[in-house]
Structures are given as C-alpha cells and as structure tokens.
Amino acid sequence: MEPKIKIAVDAMGGENSPKKVIYGILENYKNNKDIIYNIFGDKEKILILLPKNFDKEVFNIIDTKNKILDTDSPLSAAKKGKDTSMWLTIQSVKNNDSDVAISAGNTGALFVISKLNLKMIENIDKPALSALWPNKNNFNVVLDLGANIECNNKNLVDFSIMGSSLFKSLYPNDEPVVALLNIGSEELKGNDIIKKAYQDLTNIKNKNFNFYGYVEGNQIMDGKVNVIVTDGFTGNIALKTAEGTANFIVKEFKKSMTSNFLGKLSGLINFANLNKIKKKLDPRLYNGAILIGLDSPVVKSHGSTDYIGFSNSLNVCVKIVRNNLIQKIKDNISK
C-alpha cells in the first residue's frame, strides 16, 4: 500500500471560506481514500461544516483565528505573522508534516509567504505560477502567469523543464511538447531574451520534452503543443485576455439565444449541447494554479471558485504528489 498523501489546506482563503474549502475537501474525499487533510483555520467555523462523526485522522484540524485577507498587500500579509492559516499551511510542507500545500486565498501573499519559507529547487533561479489552459485535444500547462514580470533566457529554460515535469505529473501517458510564446513563428522575430532561450532549448541534450519552437497567441489552443512558456507579464495578459474574450462571446451567445421567441425555443432544444460546451470550458475543471520551482509544491485554487473547483484543485495536489513532480524537476534540471 502506498503511503497516505498529506495535504496542508488553508481553510480561510478565498470567497465563501471556510465553507467551500471544507465542502471541497468532503467532495474530494469521496474519490480519494488515501489522503490526510491537515486543515488550518478557525476550528469553530470548520467543525460546523463537517459531519458530526468525521474521522479525526483524515480531517486533522489545526486551530488558528488569524487569517490573511484578499485586501492585504503581500507585505502586510507576511507581517501578520506566523499564526495565520496561510503561513501555517506553508509551514506544514516546510516541516514535512504535509506533502503539498493549497490555498484559495490572496495570490500575492501566498507567493511571498511561500518564498519566505520554502527553498528554491537547486539550479532554479525563479519560481513560476503555472496553470492549465484548454486546447483542442486536452490541456496546456502555461507558465509563468505573473510571478515574474521580467525573465531572462535561463528562467525561460527553467520554466520549460518545470512545465514539462508538471505536464508529465498531470498526464503521465502523454509526452510534453514545449513552445515559447512569441509574436512570430519565424526565428527572426521576438526580443533577444526569447531568441536566446530558443537557442538554449534547441541545444539542450537529454531533455524531458520535445521542443516545438515558437507559437503565436492564436496557436495556444491548437493542440500542437502542450507546455507554453513565457514571462509572467505576457503570460498574465494572455490568460486574462483569453478569459475576457471567452466571457464576451458566451454572453453574446446567451443574449442571442434569449432575444426572441425562436432563440428561446432553440435555446431550450440546445440546452444539452450548450451544457457540453460549458463543461469543456468550465474553469472549475482546470482550477488551480501551481507555484512551481520551490522544493515543495504549492497549489493556488481560484479565490472565486466553488467547492467543486476546490475539490478539483485538491485532485491536482494528489497527482503532483503521487507522480513526484518535485523529484521530476530535480532530475531534469540537473541533466
């Protein structure tokens, strides 16, 4: 029998917490019996949400009243001290009491507190924020999404290695194919840093991924590649632009569906079909950004997700522990 996976959970982060966090844990536990949830937060509030006869060895509550707010700046969050639920969650992986940490709270605070407490993986200079982004076939791992506004070519190469290790942890049966996000597919375009990274990635031997070259923004969802590497500024803007575009179009479709009688009728008939698309585009499916590059994995669940989304983020935690994400990165970075 494999050893149980221990997940450190910040119960107090994000909208509607601890309710969605605890309900997310209960949902997640339905299909994952080999897990221990180390839950940090206001015990009183958490206990109300758990069934009376809950298993205290599976749901291990560590009480703390202090918590970080979404409105805290990263610095003021860090200054709030070591008894916030977020800090204790990160401490738990630092002390090897847990294998992975998760929070739906303040992203900037989680990033800073993680960096303060955890060591970088050797030979990696900067951690990155990575996430899943749907493509024609399945999902891309995209990084960096905002942890580092400026990156050099070494960072982009590190991100390629880390991103493909993450992809392989999440989809063990597929081969990672890495691309650099650029403004032209010809070798000539892009800035000097990207061009250098292109050369470096072409020259690495024994790498844990195929290197495709450049992709442009309109090729992200083509399905030709599955790990997309960029600096945090560009990645953040690309991701949010895609979100905004998707929202815009879905709203326009909805408007047209309900704008007259025929539209309404058609909307009714098409309900099952629409739900299929919604399911494919449901952000809860790929909820959870992964802070990658530190010697323990830290997962950021979306602040506005619900308990289903939080449960899916817990699944991400399980996969990256079970498939040894950190060890994969260490093996590949030292090659």
CA distance 210 to 224: 11
Min separation Cβ 307 and its own copies, Å: 24
Q: What are phi and psi of 320, to 5 degrees?
A: -75, -25
Length in residues, the chain:
335
In this complex, which beta carbon is closest to its own copies, that of residue 143 or of residue 333? 143
Read out DSSP for 152-182? -HHHHHHHHHHHHHHHHHH-TTS--EEEEE-
What is the C-alpha separation between 213 and 295, in angstroms, rounded? 29
CB closer to its own copies out of 17 and 135: 135
Is position 190 an interface residue for its own copies (rule: CB under 8 A)? yes
- The side-by-side arrangement of strands in the sheet containing 139-143 is 59-63, 35-41, 5-10, 100-103, 298-300, 289-292, 128-134, 139-143, 227-229, 177-181, 210-215
Number of residues that bind its own copies (CB under 8 A): 57
The interface mask with its own copies, positions 11-50, x = CB under 8 A, is: ----------------------------------------
Task: Select 92 or 234, whichever has its Cβ closest to its own copies.
Answer: 234
* Contacts (Cβ under 8 Å, ≥6 apart) of 245: none
Residue 69 beta carbon to its own copies: minimum distance, rounded to whole angstroms: 15
Q: Is 117 helix (H, G, I), strand (E, B) or coil?
A: helix
Shortest Å distance, C-beta 76 to its own copies: 12
CA 229 to CA 239: how far, in whole Å?
12
Interactions with its own copies, residue window 231-270 (CB under 8 A): 232-234, 236-250, 252-253, 256-257, 259-260, 262-263, 265-267, 269-270
Identify which of residues 173 and 273 has a Cβ nearer to its own copies in the complex.
273
Comparing CB distances to its own copies, the nearer of 47 and 250 is 250
Cβ 72 to its own copies shortest distance, Å? 12
Which stretches does DSSP call E strand in 258-323?
289-292, 298-300
Cα separation, 67 vs 147, whole angstroms: 22
Touching its own copies, residues 43-82 (CB under 8 A)? 73
Please list every residue from 98 through 137 that binds its own copies, using CB under 8 A: 134, 136
Among positions 137-166, residues that touch its own copies (CB under 8 A) are: 146, 149-150
Alpha-carbon span 262 to 83, nearest angstrom? 58
> What would the x/- binding string for its own copies be over residues 294 to 313, using CB under 8 A?
--------------------
Chain mean position to CA 116: 20
Applying CB under 8 A, the residues found at the interface with its own copies are 73, 134, 136, 146, 149-150, 181, 183, 188, 190-191, 216-222, 230, 232-234, 236-250, 252-253, 256-257, 259-260, 262-263, 265-267, 269-270, 272-274, 276-277, 280-281
